[in-house]
Structure 1
Amino acid sequence: MNQISRSILVFRLGILDWSDKVSVILRRLFVALLALIILWWGLLPEIALAQTQTAPPPQRVLQPTKTQTPPVQSSIQPYLNRVIKQLTEFRLDNGLKFIVLERHQAPVVSFITYANVGGVDEPDGKTGVAHFLEHLAFKGTTRIGTENYKAEKPLLETLERLDGQIKTAKANGKKDEVARLEAEFKRVEAQAAKLVKQNELGRIVEQAGGVGLNANTSTEATRYLYSFPANKLELWMSLESERFLDPVIRREFYKERDVILEERRMRVENSPIGLMVEKFIDTAYKVHPYRRPVIGYDKDIRNLTPEDVQKFFDTHYVPSNLTIAIVGDVNPAEVKKLAQTYFGRYQAKTKAVEEIPVEPPQQQTREVTLQLPSQPWYLEGYHRPAITHPDNAVYEIIGSLLSDGRTSRLYKSLVEKQRLALNAQGYSGFPGDKYPNLMLFYALTAPGHTVDELAVALRQEIDKLKTEPVATVDLERVKTQARAGLLRTLDSNMGMAQQLLEYEVKTGSWRNLFKQLDDISAVTTADIVRVAKETFTPKNRTIGKLLSKEA
């Protein structure tokens, strides 16, 4: 049992005894649980709320290509120049864009299909539909994943009709009719299941030497990814183009609905910190869809239909809303030729008009308190601008200074010196960064201390940024860590592909990925004081308190 699994087990059984001789181990496991919940909400672009792995790990793991991380230097321009020489970008006539980066150190290629759509794009009352679609994208096509689609199709249509009738009968209180319809539903579902080739897409990928077949959905994007040996480029083109050209949305729809509902129960309803995070973000936002969980609300998930998912797919999975990154041992000319052959089949469609409501400035402190069987947690968040704002690098540096690892100010003060917390961390860009978001801090109280003590101590560290200029040595250390951390993410084919896409879609150009490195170097102590004064104000503050309650 891994660390995360053990933490969930201990947490759900409610047996955390902090005075026990194993308390140190349990604390670490409990902190791991919060990290899981926070990442699930989409804090990091590469680890989003919902991840779907359909292929079991093969016996031999195909390792991503590794390249030497460039040394931190006064300017990133030399590294950028090398990337420019190796990078090709093109757009098909239907609007679908490709970014291709040559890396010939090993015969491996990583692929990411990036759909510029996530939780924020869902209609009211249809939360969770983006994540649901991601699950169904692994169920195959009219040719993949079925023994006989001609026989399967009418059964899937019957299931959809029966589900609607069951909902109507329940609403009208007709119990006998509900029982009859549910029995018929199970019979037809069993028939349809016999025609399904379980995980055929995953088996094809694995048998061809592919690894890492996965996907994730966040507040603002859905990503589909895996890696192949270099000689399987055309196979990837065929599989991935078919996947979104000819998907069968209805296949195992109701089975996946149950899976997602159980996922929500585990991570929210049965998890005090999961419930706390959901309530906290709902308090911090009033109109922006960041306030809604990517997995969706229970009622919405239950009421989603195949028609809802199909409509969402038809609206948002248009060629001009998709971007694909291919990084590894490839020939750009061959990539372009195959892309035109396979993805050129997509019909050009008008991209949906973005209608995201703007969150009004917060005018006073907001607070939410929950009392649940849990160790006490304290959360504090402040609104900050989007990734495209000129001060984005300043916010990243502030986040690193306060909460990046054991050398951070919060850890040293709250955990090591004052011993008020078992852990204290934070993140800038919660629950996404495409739109104005939050700088979030959170801490787990140490035995004998309260969340109110934590609040005072945390705020003291935050306020120091407004009045005490950061020492040059500390600022340079954090800059070096930030730059090195970003460069490390570019060390693998998959990491490079993901970062190129994030900046291409969210900022308008992948080149801004490298501009961010220079922006980090340019941050001054005066910038930190200025931004801290603007951001860390009482009226811009949201507080979350998870208080202990006897089970």
Structure 2
Amino acid sequence: MQGATSVCTSVRSIVLLCFVLIGLPFVSAQAQTLADKVIEHDLDNGLKLLMVERDATPTFTAYITLGVGAVNETSEYRGVAHLLEHMLFKGTRTLGTVDYEQEKPLLEQIEQVGAKLDELRTRRDVDPDEVQQLEQRLDRLQQEHKKFVVKDEFARIYAENGGVGYNAFTSKDLTSYLISLPSNKLELWAAIESDRMKNAVLREFYTEREVIKEERRRSYETSPRGLLYENLLATAFTVHPYRNPIIGWMSDIENLTLEETRSFLKRYYAPTNTVIALVGDIDPAETIALIERYFGDIDPGVPVMPVTAVEPPQNGEKRRHVQFDAEPQLSMAFHKPTLPSREDYVFDLLDQILGQGPTSRLYRSLVLEKQIATAVSTYGAPGARYPNLYVINATPRHPHTVEEVEEAIMAEIERLTREPVSEAELEKARSRLRTDRLRFLRGNNGLARMLTYYQSVAGDWRYLVNYDRKVAQLDAEDIVQVARQWLTKANRTVVTLSAEGEKQ
């Protein structure tokens, strides 16, 4: 679903899928490395353009990634990045409206009434009748406004011109907009997306805010997995904003104002924080000229400031139980460093050995041999720009309990701290990482996504180029040391979920 796909997006698929070779079937045995294939161009306003020419099909994929996400929000406007993801599908001064000049005065009236209503709702001495009157007035204005709105015009134009995969997602660390189009539609894409960056109109703000409140109810408050994950982050992190949900808490959504949202947009959704990747049947020289023409005159904006909050050492196990009418579930998290630390590379290997696939140690032990769990999964969360978590989830098989499952998980972890993995198991993990990466980047979409991701999060897309060499330097003793240092009880957060009254 466009504009709302990433609230629960796992970082796991991004952190592990990084490549050295393009790996396409049409590339010869003497294929150039990724470092040779990527063409960079920096605009004067700070926008970075990354291009890879692939002419197997007359199409291209475009990713626009802004290095701003939920981690960059403060307590005054949590949830604004996700809200903006929705709002930027609403159009511009020329798209999404039948007549912006006539629409504009009505939008101003809607904002005035909506802002007054938001202010009244925060007051303790509010007059309920005044609130009701303003609500009715806002509803009338919004009904009148509908006659100016052209729904989903971006999507319609792209679809009519052969576009596929039009979407967006927000994560803790960034926001991306993506589309694949025929190669002769590159200028159309540039015209639309530069217009969105220059002239976005945040129409239907108050109705969309209600949509997001319903999304939160559906994805978190009535979802056992959402509840478990949200409570895990809020328990594991005390200080760092990684503790907050991307969508925001319900009170955050209710109190997000149009003024705050517009201010966040103007500051950060700008060239200085933007990476564009274009992969496919493109001419790099012509593409650079095109991007300069459409994006070069946009104001640079304000660089996103790094998060200064540092999560203190945990120094003691944390536990929480969530009562919810669902089958029992367990989630266990350990704090860990992030890229480009050596430990992060080790965790990629460790994760393959411990939790990825039906031959992993946890799956074999808990699901196949002991048959005490119906499912087990592992992943990194909730972001990668800052130190994060290594997470293990498991669902007990009735009548087994979360205690049994937790004990079995810790037994496998302790085994990692005692016994170095065999060279065969280590090489199998390396091979799976390589295979997964090559499969992922075989398409234009995967490569475009990874280029913008690592440029934004790691600060340089070349992180991809050195990845295999870094992993190859690791040995079994590295895994033992990392497991001993980070996979400890004192560094652990455990959250369980089950119906009230069930044994924990």
**1:180-219 equivalent positions in 2, closer than 5 A:** 180-219=133-172
**1:32-431 equivalent positions in 2, closer than 5 A:** 40-44=8-12, 67-68=24-25, 81-170=32-121, 171=123, 172-249=125-202, 251-427=203-379, 429-431=380-382
Counterparts of 1:443 and 1:259, CA distance in 2: 31
**1:433-472 equivalent positions in 2, closer than 5 A:** 433-472=384-423
Question: 2:19 corresponds to which residue?
Answer: none
CA RMSD, Structure 1 to Structure 2 (Å): 2.2
C-alpha deviations, 1:98-150, integer Å up to 9, x for none?
00000011101000000000000012131110000111111110011101111
Contact 2:239–2:309, Cα closer than 8 Å, also in 1: yes
Cα deviation for residue 39 of structure 1 reads 7.7
Residue segments in structure 1 that go unaligned for 5+ positions in a row = 1-35, 48-64
C-alpha deviations, 1:46-91, integer Å up to 9, x for none?
69xxxxxxxxxxxxxxxxx9932999x9xxxx76x43334321010
Counterparts of 1:234 and 1:69, CA distance in 2: 27
| CA pair 268-179 structure 1, distance change in 2 beyond 3 A | same
Counterparts of 1:117 and 1:272, CA distance in 2: 28
Counterparts of 2:396 and 2:336, CA distance in 1: 26
Cα deviation for residue 243 of structure 1 reads 0.6
Alignment-mate amino acid for residue 204 of structure 1:
I
Matched residue SS, 2:393: strand
Higher RCO (C-alpha under 8 Å, 6+ residues apart)? 2
Cα deviation for residue 207 of structure 1 reads 0.8
Question: 1:533 corresponds to which residue?
Answer: 484
Cα deviation for residue 169 of structure 1 reads 4.1
Cα deviation for residue 302 of structure 1 reads 0.9
Contact 1:373–1:550, Cα closer than 8 Å, also in 2: no
Alignment-mate amino acid for residue 177 of structure 1:
E
Counterparts of 1:280 and 1:547, CA distance in 2: 14
Counterparts of 1:412 and 1:331, CA distance in 2: 49
Are 1:475 and 2:426 matched, yes or no? yes
TM-score normalised to structure 1 length: 0.86
Question: 2:498 corresponds to which residue?
Answer: 547
C-alpha deviations, 1:142-190, integer Å up to 9, x for none?
0111011111111111112112222344433322222221111111101
Counterparts of 2:253 and 2:475, CA distance in 1: 47
Residue segments in structure 2 that go unaligned for 5+ positions in a row = 16-21
Contact 1:367–1:544, Cα closer than 8 Å, also in 2: yes
| CA pair 38-44 structure 1, distance change in 2 beyond 3 A | farther
Alignment-mate amino acid for residue 479 of structure 1:
R
Alignment-mate amino acid for residue 395 of structure 2:
L
Contact 1:120–1:290, Cα closer than 8 Å, also in 2: yes
Counterparts of 1:70 and 1:533, CA distance in 2: 43
| CA pair 41-125 structure 1, distance change in 2 beyond 3 A | farther
TM-score normalised to structure 2 length: 0.93
| CA pair 242-491 structure 1, distance change in 2 beyond 3 A | same
Matched residue SS, 2:320: strand
| CA pair 359-260 structure 1, distance change in 2 beyond 3 A | same
Counterparts of 2:449 and 2:163, CA distance in 1: 18
| CA pair 260-344 structure 1, distance change in 2 beyond 3 A | same
Cα deviation for residue 253 of structure 1 reads 0.7
Larger CA deviation: 275-284 vs 83-92:
83-92
C-alpha deviations, 1:368-410, integer Å up to 9, x for none?
1112211111111111101211222210011111110111100
| CA pair 120-236 structure 1, distance change in 2 beyond 3 A | same
Question: 2:18 corresponds to which residue?
Answer: none
Alignment-mate amino acid for residue 355 of structure 2:
S
Moved over 6 A (4+): 36-39
Counterparts of 2:5 and 2:94, CA distance in 1: 37
Cα deviation for residue 550 of structure 1 reads 7.0
Counterparts of 2:483 and 2:12, CA distance in 1: 23
Counterparts of 1:384 and 1:167, CA distance in 2: 40
Contact 2:271–2:301, Cα closer than 8 Å, also in 1: yes
Contact 2:10–2:381, Cα closer than 8 Å, also in 1: yes
Alignment-mate amino acid for residue 305 of structure 1:
T
Alignment-mate amino acid for residue 198 of structure 1:
K
Cα deviation for residue 38 of structure 1 reads 10
Cα deviation for residue 521 of structure 1 reads 2.3
**Sequence identity (%):** 38
Matched residue SS, 2:326: coil
C-alpha deviations, 1:272-317, integer Å up to 9, x for none?
3311211111110011110000011101101111111111111211
Counterparts of 1:306 and 1:253, CA distance in 2: 7
| CA pair 432-307 structure 1, distance change in 2 beyond 3 A | same
